[in-house]
């Protein structure tokens, strides 16, 4: 028997779970996992259901949509997502993703690695993946992004993963992949603006280095947060040691965020995520 | 409008969520939180629902029981649990509970502190709580437990909290409070049997000290685990420092476990817990 | 045989450890613990030595100062510090300190609790400590601090502990206790400026709540960091739940920072701390 | 100017630091980092010094040995260790090591990967490393180890890293690499003996999965612990999910342990480690 994942989000009202599960029950589908959450502030309802059974997904989807006209409904088999990874020159996140990919652990199919620099080509080649260098030197931002899109478009990816891609993307670019671009960056307590954050963190003597994985947002540098973690440091860590600690936590947090997203466990509600893990 | 918590557990079958939410919907009750889980190995279904509305709880309970004859159904308003705390002579867990209790943070009403030793009387008195010393010297285990039960019985507590109560309870005693006794103890990687575990942990040079909160089980020294956490240590920690680190993690883990239990978030499935947090 | 703690900091140069340990050896003092660190950026040397033996501390101090004219030298027996705690109305940090104090765990003697509000009086009284309310209503900041100093001065404390004291202290006040005021505050990834930080953290959907204990600095809102920790949260946490999680981590981090400071393990180097733990 | 690492361990007595630093000072060597620790129970002294300067290491070593006849003295430039990695069929630890190795992050030179199974050959080949399969089928343990030693011996490694090598090594084998074999294994609270530990951990409903990196000991299954860490799990994790969580923490803990050992930060004292990090 096949397994399906059903995701529904809509304005909250009475009877939503009842109406949804009624339809599943009438079709003799067996719910094996179910999570709901109501964002009380926004009065919005989120539900993720895993069910098993025989099912015409398009027909079921239509019936659910008929019952819940205001809802966003996604229904499908669990599947590996088509992904393009963007990176610049640091290898720790890309390497970790490629290892997990090679082990079949990623719930994604990495189609290609794209970079604005040539450094990571050998790493991508070790794992027999296409590598495209799209240098930005001497190009305006718009032209560079057009070139990027030219390369990326050929793979028609569902998600872009920014695995330490160090250039800012324009709202126009981001707008083509709404909540489909996932980024990882270091985070500090307190936060440091400006250049050389690790040097600032060192000068301030922080005791913790963090990392945040988030969706990239059109308006904001930082969109909804998917996962965060930290690693302890102390005065014996140089700025370089802190950067190394940061790399160790970044790769773990990015992998965790991708797992959550690719398993369809993440909803976006305003600027927050609802995560059913 | 009142809020209620509904807890249902029963053998898994198709349509459970549908049948339950149908009844709630017919009564125009508004689900504000819902969690389900199926223990696939035991084919057992667990559901915790928070709903708001006007409701005759006994009548609703009966209707649900009629629809699900095999289910265990609990329905009630969120309420402070009546609790008796047992402790011996260490103050860290008891003190933390008394502070949280005084702050109204505990979701419980501590009726009394009972001990086999007199040491903690002054601490209980600081917080204006009855303290009963039931010494065990010169008594058989059965007689001592009878004396304990005499004192405890007067308070008719729903839960017993063992906040570093250092005597073993007999199955007969535990059997009177099935999944109603919560204990905290230190945990190590690797585990150490026998006396002076901190001295053993020191000799072995462990880098982590842990704590486990669990239900006390008739058969087993350790019943279903509710919460666990750890704290890092290193070679500069003496056995005494490790014990201090252990105390710091024990009190946090016990408070966390009590919060989960008293908010009706914990189900027991075989020797595991299902926790909707 | 008595134990002493020797703390030395000075510009780095060759032979420092040799010259210091030579003096200790000539006096047949037995080093039982020794830590050094050179802040490479500032070329500054820090050393903390625990030694046992018979010793005229003032004479030894003078000899060391003669050998290291540029050094700051502290020498003394481990001792409980005289402390005044300032708090406003939240009880979690104060309560935790009072429990540890009552257990003799704090390496400090709390002389009094001072507040700008009356709320915490009953808590202080439970532990038989003097409580002083110095309200700030209708007073200028300078007058209020003068009144505070009047109360505090009577206790001649070595350290002030801000256990959720919610008023900003002027540089003039802070200047009277250089690196002698320890504060605890919540910390977020990312940081949130302005009012209601927990509401902002909630709206941003953070997955981690942190706490930072630090020395209070004349110039800065935040001086050198002593200890930091975090606690995970998720979308099911309301802003209030996040605040509760924040309280749980704050009290642990403050207690840890005080232990480090009162055991003479913390040096300040520029805006960083060097911590020998 | 060259940097050296000096490691000294010997029975504790007065004046050790003085006598050691005197010799360094007379040679105008500049101490840039220094750590000492006295294992009070065993009355044993440990010291690790990083110094910079011009130095005839063999002559200096001899002078130090003359001054401290009972001491074990190691002196040398920081250097990459020659390493052979043993693994069986799980790729997560080996892959992480190979990535770090390729990034020059490991402070080691991996000479070869040796396995009792063929599965990991392609992974080793991706990183252009020799792979040797030494199958154990149909061989006695002694013969298999002789074959292993034949392959390993050709590389004359300083350390063997067991990156999920799933066969037990005999004391005779281990005795050839005293405190030179580093192993990683999962750890649980409580510990589980026997087969299928993840299935047992699942059945017991543990909330934490841990990993321990340790030296392999002649006598014991588990020698001195180098690093430990944990990762939280809950009831939604299947035994397989717990194993995945275990893999994520194992690879991080093994990498951390190797960094500590290869940077000469780890001493063994009885069955404990002293770690200067």
What is the CATH number for B121? 3.40.50.170
Q: Please compute the mean of the pLDDT values over residues B39-68 and round it to a whole number.
A: 96
Question: In chain B, what residues touch C123 (CB-CB under 8 Å)?
Answer: 102
Same domain for A221 and A153, yes or no, is yes
* Last residue of one domain, picked from the residues B44, B76, B108: B76
* Each residue's pLDDT tens digit, A145-165: 999 999 999 999 999 999 999
| D224 CA: distance to closest CA in chain B (Å) | 7
Same domain for B22 and B142, yes or no, is no
pLDDT > 70? residue D156: yes
Same domain for C59 and C181, yes or no, is no
Q: Please compute the mean of the pLDDT values over residues D116-126 and round it to a whole number.
A: 97
Q: Please judge whether D235 and B275 are an interchain contact, meaning their C-beta atoms are less than 8 angstroms apart.
A: yes
CB within 8 A of C103, min separation 6: which ones? B91, B92, B95
Poorest-pLDDT segment among A185-194, A215-224, C32-41: A185-194
CB within 8 A of A209, min separation 6: which ones? A186, A188, A201, A230, A231, A232, A233, A242, A245, A246, A249
Residue listed under structure tokens 């580093």? D182
* Each residue's pLDDT tens digit, C196-237: 888 888 988 999 999 999 999 876 567 999 999 999 999 999
* Last residue of one domain, picked from the residues B50, B76, B102: B76
pLDDT > 80? residue B188: no
Same domain for D226 and D158, yes or no, is yes
Residue to test with chain D: of A98, A126, A163, A230, most D Cβ within 10 A:
A126
| C122 CA: distance to closest CA in chain B (Å) | 10
Burial of D66 (0-12, 13-18, 19+ CB in 10 A): exposed
User: What pLDDT score does B189 carry?
Assistant: 65
User: What pLDDT score does C255 carry?
Assistant: 96
Print the SS3 string covering D36-63: EEEECCCCEEEEEEEEEECCCHHHHHHH
List C-alpha distances in Å: A221 to A174, A225, D59. 11, 12, 59
Q: Please judge whether C229 and A206 are an interchain contact, meaning their C-beta atoms are less than 8 angstroms apart.
A: no
Q: Please compute the mean of the pLDDT values over residues C93-105 and round it to a whole number.
A: 96
Same domain for D226 and D110, yes or no, is yes
β-bridge mates for residue B74, sequence order: B7
Name the residue in chain B with its Cα closest to that of C235: B277
Q: Please compute the mean of the pLDDT values over residues A72-100 and round it to a whole number.
A: 97
The token duo for A101 is 């990919």
Same domain for A185 and A213, yes or no, is yes
Q: Please judge whether D95 and A103 are an interchain contact, meaning their C-beta atoms are less than 8 angstroms apart.
A: yes
The model's confidence at residue A187, banded by pLDDT at 50, 70 and 90, is: confident
pLDDT > 70? residue B221: no
C touches which chains (3+ CB pairs under 8 A)?
A, B, D
Same domain for D46 and D90, yes or no, is no
End-to-end CA distance of chain A: 23
User: What pLDDT score does D141 carry?
Assistant: 93
Question: In chain B, what residues touch A231 (CB-CB under 8 Å)?
Answer: none
Query: CB of C91 within 8 A of CB of C42?
Result: no
Residue to test with chain B: of C99, C235, C236, C263, most B Cβ within 10 A:
C99
Among C21, C25, C38, beta carbon nearest to D32 = C38
| B16 CA: distance to closest CA in chain A (Å) | 9
Query: CB of D4 within 8 A of CB of D57?
Result: yes
| A262 CA: distance to closest CA in chain D (Å) | 16
* Each residue's pLDDT tens digit, B31-49: 988 999 999 989 999 999 9
pLDDT > 70? residue B64: yes
Question: In chain A, what residues touch B33 (CB-CB under 8 Å)?
Answer: 36-38
Q: How many interchain CB pairs under 8 A, A with D?
A: 34
Interface of chain D against chain A, CB under 8 Å?
Answer: 91-92, 95-96, 99, 102-103, 105, 123, 126-127, 236, 244, 248, 252, 255, 277
Same domain for D169 and D206, yes or no, is yes
Q: What's the rounded Cα separation, in Å, for the pair C176 and A180?
A: 54
Q: Please compute the mean of the pLDDT values over residues C100-128 and round it to a whole number.
A: 96
Neighbours of A207 (CB within 10 A): 25
The token duo for D217 is 């000991």
The model's confidence at residue A222, banded by pLDDT at 50, 70 and 90, is: confident
Question: In chain D, what residues touch C32 (CB-CB under 8 Å)?
Answer: 38, 40
A touches which chains (3+ CB pairs under 8 A)?
B, C, D
Question: In chain B, what residues touch A14 (CB-CB under 8 Å)?
Answer: 25, 28-31
Q: Which residues of C are catalytic?
A: 221
User: What pLDDT score does A219 carry?
Assistant: 66
Q: Please compute the mean of the pLDDT values over residues C59-70 and round it to a whole number.
A: 98
* Each residue's pLDDT tens digit, D216-236: 987 656 799 999 999 999 999
Residue to test with chain C: of B90, B92, B95, most C Cβ within 10 A:
B95
Q: What share of chain A is helix, strand, coil (3-state, %, to 5)?
A: 30, 30, 35
Q: Please judge whether C17 and D38 are an interchain contact, meaning their C-beta atoms are less than 8 angstroms apart.
A: no
The token duo for D154 is 């050709």
User: What pLDDT score does B199 carry?
Assistant: 87
Name the residue in chain B with its Cα closest to that of A47: B34
Q: Please judge whether B210 and D191 are an interchain contact, meaning their C-beta atoms are less than 8 angstroms apart.
A: no
Residue listed under structure tokens 């509970």? B97
Question: In chain C, what residues touch D16 (CB-CB under 8 Å)?
Answer: 31
Same domain for D202 and D250, yes or no, is yes
Question: In chain C, what residues touch D17 (CB-CB under 8 Å)?
Answer: 17, 21, 31, 34
User: What pLDDT score does A60 carry?
Assistant: 98
Residue to test with chain A: of C38, C44, C188, C208, most A Cβ within 10 A:
C208
Please state whether beta strands B81-87 and C159-162 pair in parallel, antiparallel, or not at all (unpaired): unpaired
Neighbours of C42 (CB within 10 A): 12
* Each residue's pLDDT tens digit, C83-96: 999 999 999 999 99
Question: In chain C, what residues touch A40 (CB-CB under 8 Å)?
Answer: 238
Sign of the dihedral defined by the CA atoms of residues C199, C204, C208, C211, in that order: negative
* Each residue's pLDDT tens digit, D79-106: 999 999 999 999 999 999 999 999 999 9
Domain count, chain D: 2
Q: Which of A221, A241, A264, A277 is catalytic?
A: A221
β-bridge mates for residue A48, sequence order: A7, A35
Q: Please compute the mean of the pLDDT values over residues A56-68 and round it to a whole number.
A: 97
Neighbours of B49 (CB within 10 A): 24
The model's confidence at residue C242, banded by pLDDT at 50, 70 and 90, is: very high
Neighbours of B137 (CB within 10 A): 7
Query: CB of A33 within 8 A of CB of B38?
Result: yes
H or E segment at D230?
A: strand D225-232
* Nearest one of C100, C118, C117 to C109, comparing CA atoms: C100
The model's confidence at residue B76, banded by pLDDT at 50, 70 and 90, is: very high
CB within 8 A of C5, min separation 6: which ones? C48, C49, C50, C74, C75, C76, C77, C78, C264
| B103 CA: distance to closest CA in chain C (Å) | 8
| Share above pLDDT 90 across residues of chain D, in percent, rounded to a whole number | 87
The token duo for A214 is 């988030």
Pairwise pLDDT comparison (C258 vs B191), residue with the higher score: C258
CB within 8 A of D95, min separation 6: which ones? A99, A102, A103, D123, D251
Q: Please compute the mean of the pLDDT values over residues D259-272 and round it to a whole number.
A: 96
pLDDT > 90? residue A201: no
Question: In chain A, what residues touch B233 (CB-CB under 8 Å)?
Answer: none
Q: What's the rounded Cα separation, in Å, for the pair C172 and C169?
A: 8
The CATH code of the domain that includes C59 is 3.30.70.260
User: What pLDDT score does D200 carry?
Assistant: 85
* Nearest one of C80, C83, C253 to C181, comparing CA atoms: C83
Continuous H helices in chain D:
16-26, 57-67, 92-102, 121-126, 141-153, 171-174, 197-204, 239-262
Q: What's the rounded Cα separation, in Å, for the pair B177 and B174?
A: 5
Q: Please compute the mean of the pLDDT values over residues D202-222 and round it to a whole number.
A: 86
Same domain for C112 and C164, yes or no, is yes
The token duo for C211 is 């706490």
Residue listed under structure tokens 């020498």? C75
Among A92, A127, A252, beta carbon nearest to D248 = A252
Query: CB of B273 within 8 A of CB of B224?
Result: yes
Q: What's the rounded Cα separation, in Å, for the pair C243 and B10?
A: 36
pLDDT, averaged across chain D: 94
Burial of D261 (0-12, 13-18, 19+ CB in 10 A): buried
Q: Which of B221, B241, B248, B264 is catalytic?
A: B221
Same domain for C93 and C46, yes or no, is no
* Each residue's pLDDT tens digit, C125-184: 999 999 999 999 999 999 999 999 999 999 999 999 999 999 999 999 999 999 999 999
Secondary structure E strands in A136-196? 159-162, 181-188
Residue listed under structure tokens 């990874």? A85
User: What pLDDT score does D143 carry?
Assistant: 97
Q: Please judge whether D103 and A96 are an interchain contact, meaning their C-beta atoms are less than 8 angstroms apart.
A: no
Q: Please judge whether B222 and D190 are an interchain contact, meaning their C-beta atoms are less than 8 angstroms apart.
A: yes
pLDDT > 70? residue D176: yes
User: What pLDDT score does D189 carry?
Assistant: 65
Same domain for B138 and B216, yes or no, is yes
Q: Which residues of A18-44 are buried (b: 16+ CB within 10 A; e: fewer)?
A: bbbbbbbbeeebbbbbbbbbbbeeeeb
| C20 CA: distance to closest CA in chain D (Å) | 8
Question: In chain B, what residues touch A21 (CB-CB under 8 Å)?
Answer: 15, 17-18, 21
Secondary structure of residue A34 in the 3-state scheme = strand
Secondary structure of residue A86 in the 3-state scheme = strand
User: What pLDDT score does B268 carry?
Assistant: 96
* Last residue of one domain, picked from the residues D43, D59, D76: D76
List C-alpha distances in Å: D73 to A167, C30, C32, D8. 50, 22, 20, 5
Secondary structure of residue B192 in the 3-state scheme = coil
State ipTM: 0.90
Q: Please judge whether C18 and D24 are an interchain contact, meaning their C-beta atoms are less than 8 angstroms apart.
A: yes
Interface of chain D against chain C, CB under 8 Å?
Answer: 14-18, 21-22, 24-25, 28-38, 40
> DSSP string spanning C181-229?
EEEEEEEESS---SS-HHHHHHHHT-SEEEEEEEE--SS-SS--EEEEE
The model's confidence at residue B203, banded by pLDDT at 50, 70 and 90, is: confident
pLDDT > 90? residue D118: yes
Pairwise pLDDT comparison (A221 vs A65), residue with the higher score: A65
| Structural domain range at position C143 | 81-275
Residue to test with chain C: of D25, D53, D230, most C Cβ within 10 A:
D25
* Each residue's pLDDT tens digit, B155-185: 999 999 999 999 999 999 999 999 999 999 8
Q: How many interchain CB pairs under 8 A, C with D?
A: 53
H or E segment at C74?
A: strand C72-76
pLDDT, averaged across chain C: 94
pTM (global) more than 0.80 = yes
pLDDT, averaged across chain A: 94
Q: How many interchain CB pairs under 8 A, B with C?
A: 34
Chain centroid to CA B18: how far?
Answer: 31
Query: CB of C81 within 8 A of CB of C262?
Result: yes
Secondary structure of residue D27 in the 3-state scheme = coil
Q: What's the rounded Cα separation, in Å, for the pair C229 and C254?
A: 10
User: What pLDDT score does B277 carry?
Assistant: 87
pLDDT > 90? residue D204: no
Neighbours of C221 (CB within 10 A): 11
């Amino acid at each position: 028997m096949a397994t399906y994942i059903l995701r529904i989000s809509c304005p909250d009202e009475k009877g939503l779970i009842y109406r949804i599960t009624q339809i599943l029950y009438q079709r003799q589908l067996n719910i094996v996992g179910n999570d709901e959450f109501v964002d009380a502030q926004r009065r919005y309802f989120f539900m993720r259901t895993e069910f098993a059974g025989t099912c015409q997904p398009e027909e079921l989807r239509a019936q659910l949509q008929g019952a819940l006209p205001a809802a966003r409904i996604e229904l499908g088999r669990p599947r590996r997502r088509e992904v393009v990874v963007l990176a610049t020159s640091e290898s720790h996140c890309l390497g970790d993703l490629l290892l997990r990919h090679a082990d079949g652990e990623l719930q994604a199919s990495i189609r290609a690695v794209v970079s604005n620099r040539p450094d990571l080509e050998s790493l991508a080649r070790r794992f027999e993946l296409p590598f495209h260098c799209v240098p930005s030197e001497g190009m305006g931002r718009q032209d560079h992004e057009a070139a990027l899109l030219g390369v990326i478009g050929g793979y028609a990816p569902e998600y872009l993963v920014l695995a330490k891609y160090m250039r800012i993307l324009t709202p126009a670019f981001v707008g083509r992949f709404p909540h489909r671009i996932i980024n990882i960056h270091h985070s500090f307590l307190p936060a440091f603006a400006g250049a050389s954050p690790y040097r600032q963190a060192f000068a301030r003597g922080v005791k913790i280095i963090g990392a945040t994985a988030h969706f990239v947002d059109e308006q904001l540098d930082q969109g909804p947060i998917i996962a965060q973690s930290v690693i302890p440091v102390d005065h014996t860590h140089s700025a370089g040691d802190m950067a190394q600690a940061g790399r160790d936590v970044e790769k773990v947090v990015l992998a965790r965020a991708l797992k959550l997203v690719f398993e369809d466990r993440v909803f976006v509600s305003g600027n927050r995520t609802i995560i059913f893990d």
